[in-house]
Amino acid sequence: MTETATGRVRLVCERVVQTARLMVGVPDYQTYVTHRQTNHPDQPFMTYQEFFRERQDARYAIGKGRFRGCC
């Protein structure tokens, strides 16, 4: 396989994994870290574990009134 083709396959795999994770409410961690480092370089950011827990709680947070997968 040529270099660009492997790159493309890797990108597709990455996207599939991102999609699966977002389906259950967990956005891309690397994007979050990049965002924090670019925009708030002086502030600490969550570890992956904290990030995961925060997102999990947010998905089912009472008060957001979210309702999925009904019809």
> What is the C-alpha R_g of the chain?
16
Q: Does 43 bind another protein (CB under 8 A)?
A: no
Q: Does 70 bind another protein (CB under 8 A)?
A: yes
Q: What is the dihedral of CA 36, 39, 41, 45, to 10 degrees?
A: -20
Give the nearer residue to another protein in terms of CB position, either 10 or 15.
Answer: 15
Q: Does 31 bind another protein (CB under 8 A)?
A: yes
The site for another protein (CB under 8 A) is made up of 15, 17-28, 31-36, 39, 48-49, 51-60, 62-63, 65-71
